Amino acid sequence: MRALIQRVKEARVIIESAVNVVRAERSINQGMVIFLGIEKNDTEEDSQYLINKILSLRIFEVNSSVNGKKEFEKSAIDISGEILVVPQFTLCADCRKGRRPEFSKAAPIEKAKLLYEYFIQQLRKKYDKIETGKFGAKMLVEIHNDGPVTIILDTKGY
């Protein structure tokens, strides 16, 4: 399971529905956007590991009393930050051969959807300031990066 995390001042996702031309919008203020890629060998344990790591990840700055420099000292929880989770299977791409991404590592749709929903459910049990994209939907994502700070987490090692 892979998570690409971006520290943001604000972000929003616009979810498009081709069937009814319905659009839904979800937004957050200061916090983080998590793009989540689910691979075929991922498990609920991978979800738990990522959730614990993400919620404790100190990527928010405070002024250091020692040297006056800004340092990563706070987590999203510490600053009451908001979290937007967006499913993104393209994080599972393998681009080592050829010019076209290959997605054989990505979980099948049914499994990926179940693990995405499990991830969201478990994340909400630990923290309440969560917004989400919609699995399988076409989405427009607007991000106002803060830093920029971008972190990649991979439960299988990176």
Could you read off the pLDDT of 65-111 as tens digits, one per residue?
A: 666 677 899 999 999 999 999 999 999 999 999 999 999 999 999 99
CA atoms within 13 A on the CB side of 119: 34
pLDDT of residue 16: 84
CB-CB neighbours of 92 under 10 Å: 21
pLDDT of residue 64: 60
Question: Can you read off the two tokens belonging to residue 152?
Answer: 């990649």
Q: What is the dihedral of CA 136, 140, 146, 150, to 10 degrees?
A: 40
Task: Give the domain ranges of the chain.
Answer: 2-154
List, by residue number, the catalytic residues: 90
**pLDDT at residue 126 is higher than 80:** yes
Q: What is the dihedral of CA 44, 46, 50, 51, to 10 degrees?
A: 20
Using the structure block, give the residue that is written with the tokens 């006056």. Answer: 68
- Interval 28-45 mean pLDDT: 98
φ, ψ dihedrals at 59, nearest 5°: -125, 10
Could you read off the pLDDT of 93-102 as tens digits, one per residue?
A: 999 999 999 9
CATH 3.50.80.10 fits 2-154, yes or no: yes
